[in-house]
Amino acid sequence: MPQIRIWNDNTVPYKELFGDDQINILPGKFIDMEADDGIRFLGTYNQPKFDGMGNPTTESLKMLRKEIIEPLFDDGTMMPKHDGDLKCTVCGKVCVDQEHLDGHINANHLDAMADKNEQAKRLKGKRR
Ligand SMILES: [Zn+2]
């Protein structure tokens, strides 16, 4: 499973309870996460805290950035085109776009497809 590196660009440690894991990233440091988890983690929203002037406090800001440290995809593509959950429902592989997902399913899971009409259509398409 590919990993991504998540950097804390803030000047204070970043802490968040993510699922069952207490995440703690020191300022200017990073942790490595499974790509799926990392992308979800970056997407979680923290309610910022405000100081007396109505500005969000430094401590409450989620100043994280990701660095891809392994290609996410077999073809060497480094980044998903979007951070949404475009995942194969059979094996959980993260796909770069719908076309990529379709190609992956056609190549790996046609026999597992529940919709037999769609399966036949795709098998036909494959022979062409
Ligand atoms: Zn799959």
Q: What is the pTM of this model?
A: 0.52
Per-residue pLDDT of the chain (128 residues; tens, 9 = 90+): 667 889 999 999 999 999 899 999 999 999 998 888 888 898 887 778 888 988 888 888 888 888 776 666 666 655 554 555 677 877 878 777 778 888 888 888 887 776 778 888 887 776 55
Q: Is the separation of the CB atoms in 45 and 19 below 8 Å?
A: no
> How far away, in angstroms, is 119 Cα from ligand 1 center?
15
> How far away, in angstroms, is 117 Cα from ligand 1 center?
19
> How far away, in angstroms, is 10 Cα from ligand 1 center?
37
Q: Is the separation of the CB atoms in 57 and 85 below 8 Å?
A: no
> How far away, in angstroms, is 104 Cα from ligand 1 center?
6
> How far away, in angstroms, is 73 Cα from ligand 1 center?
12
Torsion of CA 69, 72, 78, 82, to 10 degrees: -120
> How far away, in angstroms, is 108 Cα from ligand 1 center?
6
Of the chain, the end-to-end C-alpha distance in Å amounts to: 33
> How far away, in angstroms, is 91 Cα from ligand 1 center?
4
> How far away, in angstroms, is 94 Cα from ligand 1 center?
8
> How far away, in angstroms, is 114 Cα from ligand 1 center?
14
H/E stretch holding 119: helix 116-127
Domain boundaries, the chain: 1-70, 79-128
